[in-house]
A and B are shown apart, each in its own frame.
Chain A
Amino acid sequence: DGGITQSPKYLFRKEGQNVTLSCEQNLNHDAMYWYRQDPGQGLRLIYYSQIVNDFQKGDIAEGYSVSREKKESFPLTVTSAQKNPTAFYLCASSTNDRGYGYTFGSGTRLTVV
């Protein structure tokens, strides 16, 4: 079955560490997205990529980095520069046709310890 897979489901980060969240899709989608969701809040866009080897900053990119070396993969690194990283992170993918919705992964809950 086609889908989008995020791993790990839970992740713990120590102060000053960088951690990388994985996102893989086999839907043959060109576009991929990373969102951050805080309790009781909506989705805030961190980064997005419409094509391999290219990506753009979203609304809250500071303290995060991404790469898009393969169409199927869009990993997100939460760097030590992100001062409040505890949140639920969602990856999504879509075609580049703006007339369709996004398919979401199951999310990664990141906690700073």
Chain B
Amino acid sequence: GESVGLHLPTLSVQEGDNSIINCAYSNSASDYFIWYKQESGKGPQFIIDIRSNMDKRQGQRVTVLLNKTVKHLSLQIAATQPGDSAVYFCAAGGRSQGNLIFGKGTKLSVKP
């Protein structure tokens, strides 16, 4: 069946470094992708999204890259801060697909 997976369940980075979190999806019909941030004990919060007609989209300190050829997307966080410590997960969906399919999440820890 359809799946969305992350390459690493945990990631530890030094404060000020850049972070890269990866995600793979299986459904070629997916044309909408979204990254969420979930802090401990809270609900997931929208970070950034991207549609399949784009390869790259930038927000404030975050960039999402989409490679449709290999069905892979990544979230890059520039100058990682302690407040970025959270679980990040991706989701894939689209107009020809059912509900969003969520990945399991990567826990990002930022070392001071």
Q: Are the C-beta atoms of B103 and A42 separated by less than 8 Å? A: yes
Q: Chain B interface: which size bin? A: 20 to 34
Chain B 70-112 near chain A by CB (<8 Å), digits 1 or 0: 0000000000000000000101011111111011110000000
Task: Determine whether the beta carbon of A98 is less than 8 Å from that of B104.
Answer: no
User: 9 tightest CB-CB pairs across the interface, nearest first?
Assistant: A42-B104, A104-B43, A101-B34, A98-B95, A106-B43, A43-B102, A104-B44, A107-B43, A99-B32
In whole angstroms, what is the CA distance A40 to B36 when docked?
A: 15
- Give chain A's interface residues, CB within 8 Å of chain B: 6, 33, 40-43, 45, 48, 88, 90, 97-107, 109
- Partner-A contacts on B (CB < 8 A): 9, 31-32, 34, 36, 41-46, 49, 51, 89, 91, 93-100, 102-105
List 23 contacting pairs A-B, 8 Å CB cutoff, sorted by A: A6-B43, A42-B89, A45-B99, A88-B41, A90-B43, A97-B95, A98-B32, A98-B96, A98-B98, A99-B31, A99-B51, A101-B34, A101-B36, A101-B49, A101-B93, A104-B36, A104-B43, A105-B43, A106-B42, A107-B41, A107-B42, A107-B43, A109-B41
**Closest partner residue, chain A, to B4 (CB atom):** A42
Query: Nearest CB to that of A108 among chain B residues?
Result: B43
Q: Tell me whether A98 and B103 are in contact (CB under 8 A).
A: no
- Residues in A neighbouring B32, C-beta threshold 8 A: 98-101
Q: How far is the CA of A98 from the CA of B32 in the complex (A)?
A: 8
Known: A101-B91, A101-B93, A107-B43. 5 other contacts (CB 8 A): A48-B99, A98-B96, A99-B93, A100-B32, A102-B91
Q: Is the CB of B105 within 8 A of A99?
A: no
